Each structure stands twice: as structure tokens, then as C-alpha cells.
Structure 1
Amino acid sequence: AEPATADAADLSVLGEAVGASIGLTPVWRAGALLHRMTGAADAWQAASSWAEALGWAARTARERGRKISSLQAWGHGGWGYMRIGKTRLDEAALRPGSPLDGAINALKAELAGPDALVWLRCCSAFGHSGQAFARALAGRLGCRVAGHTYIIAFYQSGTHSLRPGEAPAWDPREGVRFSDGAPAGALWSSRTAPNTVSCLTGELPPGY
């Protein structure tokens, strides 16, 4: 994403999910570390909860005197949510009065306006029923949000973004595995699936 201000910061959070797949976690860590090493991220932090992750991002922005142009959260999720540790960011967490309400407000205050990007790099949070979550997240943060419709690893397919007030333009069936005509889970990402990036991609491609 293009920085909303000349000195805006790009941050990355690595979620330490309780019970996370050992086979996938190194991919998340490698991607986040590479972004730091290549300068795509100005700072990164491992977090064990959403409160810790959001608090770190807001505090880092305040201490550096730089609004957040982009924030990438790496971890695990599913339709309509992303998990860090035992905590979930979902529609319920976005409502006023939720346990994350204060942390979300603090993050929003440090975002560099509506052109800032919050990218959830986790499995299928925007897939199937997760479209409602995508709309709620964009509206709550007042900025552009991005996520995926497929299970992600090295390849990260179904990469889509949404701005406040927009309706999802992607098919809710994208990335969905069906059994006997009913949704049964998410499909794995592949090189040929729609809107595929790799874990090494640092910026959201144009049009995604």
C-alpha cells in the first residue's frame, strides 16, 4: 500500500497461536522476518494475544511519532476470524464494549487514515461467511483491510481487500470446499488459484 503520509510506518505482527500447526508456523515467521530484513516492515513483534498485538502496534506508532501506513498480522484463522493465542478477532470483537474495544480504538487512532492497510495473513478469514467480517473490520478500523479466502502457506490465494462502505466483490464460494453441495471447509492455496501471492510478497498487488 502507498503510505498515506511521507513518514508513515509499516509494521508486522507474528501471532503465536496456541496449538498452531508446527508445519505452517515457520512459513509465517520466515515471511515476517524477511519483510523486516528487506525493509518492507519498519518493525515487527511476536504476540500471544490480540490485545498484545494491537497494543504494541499503537504504542510503536506513538513512540516513533509516525502513523501506521500498513499493518500485517500473521497467524491462523478461518471463516470470519483470525486467532492469536487463545483470542480471536471476529465480528463480536469489533463491537463496542468487547474486551478488545479499547485496543482497537487505540490502533485506529494511530492508522494513517482511510488509505492505511491492515492485512490479515491467515487462512480463509475472508472466505465464505467471512465476507461479513471483512465489511465489519473495514468499517470499524476506517481503513482498507485485506485477507484471504483459501488456506494459506507458501502460496496465499484468494487475496482481496475492502475499503469502508464497500461490498465484497469476490465470490463467496471462492476457496470453499463443498461436500454433497454444502460448504465443508476451505481449499488449499495454489499457484494457479485466484489472486495468489506468496509468503514472500511484501505489498498488496494492484487490483487485489
Structure 2
Amino acid sequence: MQTETSLRLVLFDATDVGRGSGLWVSGPRRRGEGARGAAGEPADPNGTAGASFGLSPVWRAGAALHRATGAADASLAATSWADGLAWAAHTARESGRKIASLQAWGHGGWGFMGLGETRLDEDALRPGSPLDATLTALRGELAGPEAVVWLRCCSAFGHTGRDFARALADRLGCRVAGHTHIIGFYQSGTHSLRPGEAPGWDPHEGVRFSGGSPAGATWSSRTAPNTVTCLARDLPRGF
């Protein structure tokens, strides 16, 4: 159960320090990969934006703003999921307060979010994974099923990411939120679900097709479904 004393935490990827460095997509790129098409269309077919933009300093400033305005009690520049999730659980234990909200800012694609060189995906949620014990510890520090873990990254809940969303909610025992589109200032396709719920959003939402096949995620826009901006402090009602 959430209370007025519950914690609001933010962690962000500390490794995206410049274009071309700290890339979070799967595997090394070959020469010429990751180019962008017209109107900012991504080249990657797994829903990622396809490049690193040096956003860690921006996220650092945003986290400081969240703390200054009371939207977050604490924040961490994380280099891996193990470090980030362990910090969240430790912060809660040390303060004697449960976590009402945990936002993670970084890069992702269909069915995963990266922090540094590590991924949070369905494999990471399975028993015996390297993150298994850390996820269990975090679950114990969340403020019940109405706590929110919000993955503010590109398209993790889009297309095939619906299965990941469901698995994440069940593993953490709380409400989880994410996006179906590539996000920037606008963050579209914002959806959440609780443990045991089935995703209620269209698997084609935010998907760019080529020749009838999924070819990548589309960019967020002001008019796309369930759009918030990067300035949003909390998940809107109904999202």
C-alpha cells in the first residue's frame, strides 16, 4: 500500500555519454548499420532508435530537477541493471520506506530495456538469471501492487514487447509502465498493466511496416496515442 512517506526513485543510464559510444542495441554494429532514414525513421527492426545520442547528461539534469521539485526522493546514475535495482532496494531498506514509484530512464526496444551493457528482458526475469536475487529484493521493497515501475525508454512495450510487459508485472508484483513508440520530448504509447492482467493495447501500435512486415518502431508525436512529455512527473490516470 502506498503512503505519503513512500519513496519515489529515479535511475538512469550513466553510459550514454556521446554519439557512437555506449550503444545498447544487441551485438556490435557493422559499418553502415544504424543509419537513420527520412523523417527520423529508425533503421533497426527491433524497435530501437538505432543510435546513441549522448543523453546521460540530459537525464542527469532531469533527475536533479525531479529531486528539486519533489518528484523524486533520490536518483542514481546507473551503469547496469544489477547496480540500479540493488540501489533502489537498498535505499528503501535504509530509509524504512517502501517504493511507490521507480522510474528508469534509458534506451530500449521491443521487449527489453538496456542499462550500460546489461538488459532487462524476459530472460532476465526467469528464475536463476543473474538478476533473479536482485529482482526478488526489489519486489520486497515495493509498496504493493499499486507501486509503479515505469520504463521510460523506446518501445519496450511495443509489438513483441507485450509479453515482456506482462512478465515484468508478474515478476515484480506491481504495476509496470512503458511505451510502444520511440520516445524523445514526446513519449507516446504510454501504457501500464498490473500483475495477472493481459496487455490491452494493440500489438501494431507504434509499429512501422515495410512490405507487410514489422520494420521498426515509429517516433512519438503530440497526436499519437497516450502521449506524455519528458517533463511528466507521474503516470497519468487511465494510462
TM-score (normalizing by structure 2)? 0.83
For residues 11-90 of structure 1, what are the structure 2 equivalents within 5 Å?
11-17=9-15, 18-19=22-23, 21-22=52-53, 24-90=55-121
- Quote how far apart the aligned CAs of 1:60 are: 0.4
- Quote how far apart the aligned CAs of 1:37 are: 1.7
State how many pairs are aligned: 206
Q: Secondary structure at the match of 1:151?
A: coil
Match of residue 3, structure 2, among 5, 10, 27: 5
For residues 18-167 of structure 1, what are the structure 2 equivalents within 5 Å?
18-19=22-23, 21-22=52-53, 24-167=55-198
Distance, in Å, in 2 between the alignment partners of 1:192 and 1:69 is 30
Give the letter aligned to residue 79 of structure 2. S
- Quote how far apart the aligned CAs of 1:7 are: 1.2
Distance, in Å, in 2 between the alignment partners of 1:161 and 1:19 is 27
- Quote how far apart the aligned CAs of 1:180 are: 0.5
In structure 1, the gaps of 5 or more residues are none
Distance, in Å, in 1 between the alignment partners of 2:87 and 2:205 is 33
For residues 186-205 of structure 1, what are the structure 2 equivalents within 5 Å?
186-205=217-236
Deviation digits for residues 59-111 of structure 1 (CA, Å, limit 9, x no counterpart): 00011110000000000000000000010000000000000001101100100
TM-score (normalizing by structure 1)? 0.95
- The equivalent of 2:38 in structure 1 is none
Q: Secondary structure at the match of 1:56?
A: helix
Is contact 1:28-1:199 (8 Å) kept? no
Structure with bigger gyration radius: 2
